[in-house]
Amino acid sequence: MANDEIITIKSGQRVVTAEELGIELQPGFEIPEDVKKSYETWLGDFKSRLANYLDVYVERQTAAQEKARRQSMGLESAPEIGAPTFPSTSFFVPPFCDFYNPFDIFTLSPIHFGFPFIKPSKIVPAGAITLILTILWTNPVRAIPCGWAFPPTDLLHGKSVRVRFEQVNLSTVADGPDFEFLFNHSGDPIILLPWFFIAPPTGPNPQLMEVNATADLNEILDPAAAFAAFGTWHYDVDREPPFLITPGMPPRLEHDVPMRYMVFPR
């Protein structure tokens, strides 16, 4: 197997935003200029960090595949008995396939703008402009031993993709309001999709909301089942200070924990 059959070159790999792809945000209101400026300043640094993460991921994936290729050809020794290895969940694929993720979605917990500006961000005053940012991941690396003869970015390029934010009001046990992006995939590994909304009026009582993000194809593609995901990870942007016996928590990744925020009346 030739080396170029495994490794996807880095040229053209990008981190792009919905705006750069011409995707209409359609928040239903005019986003103030100061909010746009704050968002764009923060976004520039965040995109740079994501681009670095992307480079590291591609290097690790391609190195793992190249090592497996060399071992299969007898050009490099396999781990000795007793040496640490990563077990595979299948007898028919190399271990590195367990770490290959073709398509997924990741979210950042709510960030609200305006006054009163209250921390944590997931405690939102009614009427505040609020942002939930979703990262759509599509793997730019082909992995023939794992069943991916072409990079998922190539397979999805030009295909119709749907990303949804599905909300449940836990206080009233009511559905919505929901939001949806529908667009043609650009073939980029990382697409940033910002959902701006105004926290709704609550009446006399605060309202606790739960958000789930999903992504799938809006058309049939074989293997269609590989291109559907819901967010099992989100990044909690808030730093929680300690009080009484609680230790406090820095901003952190959360896994299999629902993304929730509370809207309080003002």
In this model, does residue 66 exceed pLDDT 80? no
pLDDT digits (tens, 9 = 90+) for 69-91: 666 555 555 444 444 444 444 44
As a whole number, the mean pLDDT across the chain is: 80
- Please tell me which residue, 5 or 34, carries the higher pLDDT value: 34
Average pLDDT, integer, range 226-236: 89
In this model, does residue 5 exceed pLDDT 50? no
pLDDT band at 258 (very low <50, low <70, confident <90, very high): confident
- What pLDDT was estimated at residue 201? 80
In this model, does residue 30 exceed pLDDT 80? yes
- What pLDDT was estimated at residue 163? 94
In this model, does residue 21 exceed pLDDT 50? yes
Ordered by where they begin, the domains of the chain are 3-264 (2.60.40.10)
Residue 180 CA to residue 174 CA, distance in Å, equals 18
- What pLDDT was estimated at residue 245? 92
Residue 207 CA to residue 87 CA, distance in Å, equals 45
Residue 61 CA to residue 264 CA, distance in Å, equals 45
In this model, does residue 242 exceed pLDDT 50? yes
pLDDT digits (tens, 9 = 90+) for 173-186: 888 788 999 999 99
Beta strands in the chain (DSSP E): 15-17, 103-113, 123-125, 129-138, 160-169, 174-175, 179-184, 190-198, 207-217, 228-230, 233-236, 252-255, 259-264
Determine the 3-state secondary structure of 266 from DSSP: coil
Average pLDDT, integer, range 239-266: 89
- What pLDDT was estimated at residue 41? 87
In this model, does residue 97 exceed pLDDT 70? yes
In this model, does residue 135 exceed pLDDT 80? yes
Average pLDDT, integer, range 110-123: 70
Q: Is 104 exposed, middle or buried, given 0-12, 13-18 or 19+ CB atoms closer than 10 A?
A: middle
In this model, does residue 212 exceed pLDDT 80? yes
- What pLDDT was estimated at residue 85? 45
- What pLDDT was estimated at residue 82? 45
- What pLDDT was estimated at residue 72? 56
Give the angle 168-105-33 at the CA atoms, nearest 5°: 75
Give the angle 237-257-176 at the CA atoms, nearest 5°: 85
pLDDT digits (tens, 9 = 90+) for 138-172: 999 888 877 888 889 998 999 999 999 999 999 98
Give the whole-number percent of the chain exceeding pLDDT 90: 27
- On whether the CB atoms of residues 102 and 138 are closer than 8 A, the answer is yes
Which helix (H) or strand (E) element contains residue 155? helix 152-156
- What pLDDT was estimated at residue 48? 87
Residue 216 has what DSSP assignment? E
- What pLDDT was estimated at residue 83? 43
Give the count of beta carbons closer than 10 Å to the beta carbon of residue 49.
10
pLDDT digits (tens, 9 = 90+) for 31-57: 888 888 888 888 888 888 898 888 888
